[in-house]
Amino acid sequence: MNGTGAQSAVGQPGRATQKRTLVVSHDPGFPPASGADLRNYRNAEAAARFGPVCLVSVKPNKARNAPDPLIRVEALSIEGEPRTASIGWWRSRAENRIPRSALTRLEALVREFRPDTIIVEGVGLFKLLRPLRPLAQQLILDMHNVESDLAGQIRRLSAKRSAAAFSVRLLERKALSLVDRVWVCSNLDRQKLMSLSRHKIPIDVVPNGVPQAGDGLASLPAEPSTDNGFPVIVFIGHLAYPPNIDAAQRLASVILPRIRNALPDARLVLAGRTPRPEVQALASMPGVELIEDPADVAPLLSSAHLTIVPLTAGGGTRIKILEAMAAGVPVIATPIAAEGLDLVENDEVLLSQSDERLAEMAIGLCLDPEGRARQRLRAHQAVWARFGPQAIRDAVRDGLGPNGATR
């Protein structure tokens, strides 16, 4: 393993009660490359305010150091090592493959690091819960999504993605029976999960935070110039994820052409990881640009006049919307895209279920500079107040609860 070792935080301001936290994820949490990674790393940063943190991934990780000296980075697999048998003789489609060698390393790491709390990322790592249960003073399941609800939504989107929501629901119920606490992204997800759980355990809302937020309240960035190529519409997301593929296709083929009828210079920028061939094909359409695997989304947001997020399926809280609002980019979206964020409609966000209406809203906002400026300001204030660093630290502090087991 390749960690640097966490230093003791005894004596540092605000850290009188030390809580050692181990965060287990499938992909490396640092450096973050996806929405899930961003959540895992933000949670680790917040937990480091209360004591040493070890951020460990099942998959290999070349990173050795996180910016915070109290965050230790580890990996349970080594690039190029021989493939070993996986845990369990069978796993559902919702579960990740976990090599037995990874479990052996994790058990050794737990004994060496001696965490007060172990946080496991989602039911995809279900096979780790039983082995960790006797080793954990407190075991927390961090559910980025209520996966059974999301599986049902995706199944309606595509017959090819027909993973049974019922089997995922059974997996979630088994997971809930093994842990002390559960973290979810929103009050809405909390309500969904409460209807599934037969066990009375704490379910804490730990929302996704503003990515790359730092510690200070950012000032509202200036809007990019509207003199040349207006508007620039950006859509950022994992472009192999079925709901994002569907949204990108509707943006390019339905929404953008309607906007260009009124605003001929309108451009759509699709940006994200591993775009599927059907997304790559969209780049040949008028006014559409595709940026594959962007190293940094900040320049894309700083040049955007608005973002349109026409999702028809999704779970958790939407980092792409938080990112845009934090950068001062007005958001137009479907209700499900903004679900769980508790944004004020027609003030902080514009919402519609219809692609045609989303296009009309975009045109109206582009032709209304005062309305656009007002939405930019209100959304920016809202996201920093509810999803900024202090809000996430408070949520993680409450979610960690008292030291020791709560079962």
- Element of type H or E holding 382: helix 369-387
**Residue 3: per-residue pLDDT:** 44
- In this prediction, residues 231-245 reach a mean pLDDT of 92
The residue with greater pLDDT, 279 or 90, is 279
Percentage of the chain lying above the pLDDT 70 cut: 86
In a domain, 407, yes or no: no
In a domain, 125, yes or no: yes
In a domain, 223, yes or no: no
pLDDT > 50? residue 406? no
In a domain, 204, yes or no: yes
- Element of type H or E holding 116: none
CA atoms within 13 A on the CB side of 300: 24
Q: Are 393 and 354 part of one and the same domain?
A: no
The C-alpha atoms of residue 302 and residue 309 are separated, in whole angstroms, by 17
pLDDT tens track for 58-83: 999 988 788 889 999 999 999 888 88
In a domain, 226, yes or no: no
**Residue 186: per-residue pLDDT:** 87
Any idea what the CATH number is for the domain that residue 274 is in? 3.40.50.2000
pLDDT tens track for 358-396: 999 999 999 999 999 999 999 999 999 899 888 999 999
With bands split at pLDDT 50, 70 and 90, how would you rate the model's confidence at 9?
very low
Q: Are 381 and 300 part of one and the same domain?
A: yes
With bands split at pLDDT 50, 70 and 90, how would you rate the model's confidence at 17?
low
pLDDT > 60? residue 405? no
With bands split at pLDDT 50, 70 and 90, how would you rate the model's confidence at 212?
low
The C-alpha atoms of residue 220 and residue 394 are separated, in whole angstroms, by 24
Number of domains within the chain: 2
- In this prediction, residues 185-200 reach a mean pLDDT of 79
**Residue 201: per-residue pLDDT:** 87
Q: What is the DSSP string of 244-305?
A: HHHHHHHIIIIIHHHHHHH-TT-EEEEEESS--HHHHGGGGSTTEEEEES-S-SHHHHHT-S
With bands split at pLDDT 50, 70 and 90, how would you rate the model's confidence at 10?
very low
Q: Which residues contact 332 (CB under 8 A, 6 or more apart)?
A: 306, 307, 308, 309, 349, 350, 351, 352, 358, 361, 362, 365
Please work out, in degrees rounded to the nearest 5, the angle formed at the alpha carbon of residue 39 by the alpha carbons of 246 and 148: 55
The C-alpha atoms of residue 88 and residue 94 are separated, in whole angstroms, by 14
What mean pLDDT is reported for the chain?
86
- Residue ranges making up the domain that contains 367: 232-387
Indicate the Cα dihedral angle 47, 52, 55, 61, nearest 10°.
Answer: 140
Q: Are 163 and 243 part of one and the same domain?
A: no
337 close to 316: Cβ distance less than 8 angstroms: no
In a domain, 1, yes or no: no
Q: Are 335 and 251 part of one and the same domain?
A: yes
The residue with greater pLDDT, 47 or 93, is 47
Q: Are 289 and 260 part of one and the same domain?
A: yes
pLDDT tens track for 313-327: 765 557 889 999 999
Could you give the residue ranges of the DSSP H alpha helices within 17-99?
Answer: 35-47
The C-alpha atoms of residue 273 and residue 294 are separated, in whole angstroms, by 7
The residue with greater pLDDT, 274 or 317, is 274
pLDDT > 90? residue 198? no
pTM equals 0.82
pLDDT tens track for 99-153: 999 999 999 999 999 999 999 999 899 999 999 999 999 999 998 876 555 555 5
**Residue 161: per-residue pLDDT:** 45
The C-alpha atoms of residue 298 and residue 246 are separated, in whole angstroms, by 24
87 token code pair: 């845990």
pLDDT > 90? residue 404? no
Q: Are 190 and 241 part of one and the same domain?
A: no
Q: Are 204 and 271 part of one and the same domain?
A: no
Q: Are 172 and 300 part of one and the same domain?
A: no
**Residue 38: per-residue pLDDT:** 87
Q: Are 242 and 354 part of one and the same domain?
A: yes
SS3 331: strand
With bands split at pLDDT 50, 70 and 90, how would you rate the model's confidence at 157?
very low
- Residues β-bridged to residue 71: 53
Q: Are 363 and 393 part of one and the same domain?
A: no
The residue with greater pLDDT, 392 or 12, is 392
With bands split at pLDDT 50, 70 and 90, how would you rate the model's confidence at 209?
confident
The C-alpha atoms of residue 123 and residue 200 are separated, in whole angstroms, by 18
- In this prediction, residues 328-340 reach a mean pLDDT of 92
- In this prediction, residues 295-320 reach a mean pLDDT of 85
In a domain, 382, yes or no: yes
Is the peptide bond preceding residue 31 cis, with omega within 30 degrees of 0?
yes
Q: Are 105 and 116 part of one and the same domain?
A: yes
In a domain, 325, yes or no: yes
Q: Are 35 and 128 part of one and the same domain?
A: yes
Give helix 355-366 / helix 369-387 axis angle, nearest 10°: 110
**Residue 45: per-residue pLDDT:** 92
